[in-house]
């Protein structure tokens, strides 16, 4: 008889759930990294545009060019604000995915420990059952020997080793050579 954990299916479902949560965390982390990179790229572009505006303002620049650069910087500010909010949202989702993974991992470990305890208990029960069976066999042999007067195993073994085997009994003795 082999050990069967009654909640094995639940444990397998918990393991699959944990794996799904790990995939979700990986995707959320990748998304957050991408959003951060986009926000950093926009920040670098905005800084570059701001520096070019400062450099152009020191020289001769027309009002139209100045207005155009200011418009580009305003658009970059808007995009940067949106990218920053998106990056923060992606970070929040990644943190939530991390927490969900931790909960799923905890749930799986709880069932895993329960399975181990059940397996240990089953093993102890089987060992106890085997010991009882062996004790019954030993007791019945002892009682049978007492009742029938059979010799102990050591005496029987000694007698059987001194016996002549049937194959030796049938072979003729070798004649002495003259």
Listed by start position, the domains of the chain span: 8-116
Q: Which fold has domain 8-116?
A: Helix Hairpins (1.10.287)
Q: How far apart are CA 91 and CA 34, in angstroms?
A: 11
Q: How does the average pLDDT of the chain come out, rounded?
A: 85
Integer-rounded Cα radius of gyration of the chain: 43
Six-digit token pair at 131?
């010991």
What letter would DSSP give residue 6? T
Q: Which residue matches tokens 């016996």?
A: 163
H or E element, residue 16: helix 8-58
Q: Which residue matches tokens 């029987």?
A: 156
Q: Which residue matches tokens 């050579």?
A: 177
Q: How far apart are CA 63 and CA 67, in angstroms?
A: 6
Sequential pLDDT tens for the chain (178 residues) = 788 999 999 999 999 999 999 999 999 999 999 999 999 999 999 888 888 777 777 777 777 877 887 888 899 899 999 999 999 999 999 999 999 999 999 999 999 999 999 999 999 999 999 999 999 999 999 999 888 876 655 555 555 555 555 555 455 555 555 4
pLDDT at residue 59, rounded to an integer: 72
pLDDT at residue 114, rounded to an integer: 95
């Amino acid at each position: 008889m082999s050990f069967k954990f009654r909640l094995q299916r639940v444990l397998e479902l918990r393991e699959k759930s944990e794996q799904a949560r790990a995939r979700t965390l990986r995707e959320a982390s990748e998304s957050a990294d991408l959003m951060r990179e986009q926000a950093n790229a926009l920040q670098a572009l905005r800084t570059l545009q701001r520096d070019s505006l400062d450099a152009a303002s020191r020289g001769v620049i027309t009002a139209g060019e100045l207005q155009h650069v200011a418009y580009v910087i305003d658009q970059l500010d808007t995009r940067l604000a949106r990218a920053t909010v998106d990056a923060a949202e992606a970070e929040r989702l990644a943190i939530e995915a991390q927490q969900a993974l931790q909960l799923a991992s905890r749930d799986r470990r709880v069932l895993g420990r329960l399975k181990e305890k059940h397996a240990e208990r089953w093993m102890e029960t089987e060992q106890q059952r085997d010991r009882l069976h062996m004790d019954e066999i030993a007791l019945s042999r002892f009682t049978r020997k007492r009742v029938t007067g059979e010799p102990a195993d050591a005496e029987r073994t000694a007698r059987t080793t001194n016996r002549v085997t049937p194959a030796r009994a049938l072979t003729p003795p070798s004649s002495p050579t003259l």
